[in-house]
Amino acid sequence: MREKHKILLVDDEVPFRSALRRLLEKNHMVIEADTGAKALELAQKEEPDLILLDIGLPDTSGLELLLRFKELRPSPTVVMITAYEQVRDVVMSIKRGAFDYLVKPVDLDEFELTIQKALEHSGLRNEVDRLRQEVQRLRGVDRLIGKDSLFLEAQMLAIKSAQSRDAGVLIQGESGVGKELFARLIHNKSPRATYPFVALNCAAFSREIIESELFGYEKGAFTGAKTEGKEGLLQVADGGTLFLDEVVDLHPEIQAKLLRVLEDGEFYPVGGTRKRQVDIRIVSACNQDLWEASDQGRFRKDLFFRLATILIELPSLRQRQEDIIPLSLFFMEEFNDKYGKHFRGLSPNAERILLQHPWPGNVRELRNTIERVILLENEETILGRHLHFLVEPEKDQVPSSSEQFHIELPEEGIGLEEIEKQIILNAYEKCQRNKSKAARFLKIPRHILIYRMKKHGIEI
């Protein structure tokens, strides 16, 4: 938190700025701009708590500038400064989000009161922003949606494993089931929670990059290495948790180096001669059976035992049908907030489609699906037709007329003549014993149908 508030004065009159500066700088940090361009640059760079903004500037109008300030994040509190004759502009500036206004020449008491209120407002807004971020963070991690028994068992195991500082936890499950979310949950509930959580996807880069990312390097370790060297993620995560995603893809040499870190808490950066010490916990994830990979010689068994002191298996979304609708509603709320929409629920048809889909991409696929609908549609209910992209194309579902037509033939065999007779009889009945209709149905001329009916002894 800043000790002094930072106030930006934007006015092109030097004597007026100097007078305000004298009033303010005893208790606040003051910065100044005499043009709109300079003011915008300072507002972005310095993030002032409060801006005192003159309406008439040489290069732009204060009203235009106000709109630009309102787009900044964090957005500063703005008090407009104006002459009497610009009262209409004041009304406009309040509509555009200015907190208050002061009229030149400024009355001292009114000035102090306005500044005090504006700074209180700015402080409250910052607090609201901070709390909102905190809620978002907690929502993302602590709000794990799921009532399925396999899922709840996994969650209980994760929370229990968080009590230990060091035990290796391996989380297994298909892609998108929430392995990283579980890793964050374990970290946040563990004694290491106030230290960093650092994630690395072991499948995303070459062996060399993973090695230098993990262990860091000393200057000049290899061609292209930054001259000053680089700290590895092991060091960055010191005291906290290192999350290794797709751990099965770690190169054997890196597996060996990692084992040493886990055994002795020590390692050498790439190209380094000075030993580093770290205190980390490793939570890893894998979308295949890591024990089977060890058995097949693709992963060191000694490292497996270190990483998998506790093994958590996360069920696929297909295995937890009862969670599909609650998860959908949860994501609906999330994306309502994000895109300013007002969806309230799912139609029965939409529910049916969501429940029938096999979700090969699991919760991630469901989340993306709901995001797509909320972003693109504008109704209050998610409807079946909003989910058309999940439904197989018609031609794949309904067999063509020739595939639909099927005759059950008797085991002992049957004459072709008899088959023809049965088909004509069926068609004749289907067409309410109307010979013209039956002929059209069988795609033959009417006199041929009559001829064949007589031949087979069918009553006309």
Ligand X SMILES: Nc1ncnc2c1ncn2[C@@H]1O[C@H](COP(=O)(O)OP(=O)(O)OP(=O)(O)O)[C@@H](O)[C@H]1O
For ligand X, the binding residues (CB under 6 A) are 144-146, 173, 175-181, 245, 285, 287, 363-364, 367
For residue 224, give the 3-state DSSP assignment.
coil
Output 41 or 134, the one with its CB closest to ligand X.
134
Q: How far is the CB of 193 from ligand X (least distance, A)?
A: 18
Residue labelled with tokens 């209120």: 117
Span between the terminal Cα atoms of the chain, in Å? 99
Separation CA 200–CA 202 (nearest Å):
6
Q: How far is the CB of 175 from ligand X (least distance, A)?
A: 4
Contact 246, 285 (CB under 8 A): yes
Buried b (16+ CB within 10 A) or exposed e, 302-315: ebbebbbebbbebb
**Lookup: tokens for 352:** 């049916």
Closest residue to ligand X, based on beta-carbon distance? 178
Buried b (16+ CB within 10 A) or exposed e, 255-280: bebbeebbeeeebebbbbeeebebeb
Q: How far is the CB of 440 from ligand X (least distance, A)?
A: 56
Output 204 or 448, the one with its CB closest to ligand X.
204
Output 31 or 285, the one with its CB closest to ligand X.
285
Strand partners, 382: 346
Separation CA 257–CA 341 (nearest Å):
50
Q: How far is the CB of 257 from ligand X (least distance, A)?
A: 23
Output 40 or 329, the one with its CB closest to ligand X.
329
**Lookup: tokens for 16:** 């007026």
Q: How far is the CB of 179 from ligand X (least distance, A)?
A: 3
Output 181 or 262, the one with its CB closest to ligand X.
181
Output 185 or 350, the one with its CB closest to ligand X.
185
Q: How far is the CB of 297 from ligand X (least distance, A)?
A: 24
What DSSP character marks residue 49? Answer: S
For residue 218, give the 3-state DSSP assignment.
coil
Output 6 or 367, the one with its CB closest to ligand X.
367
Q: How far is the CB of 207 from ligand X (least distance, A)?
A: 20
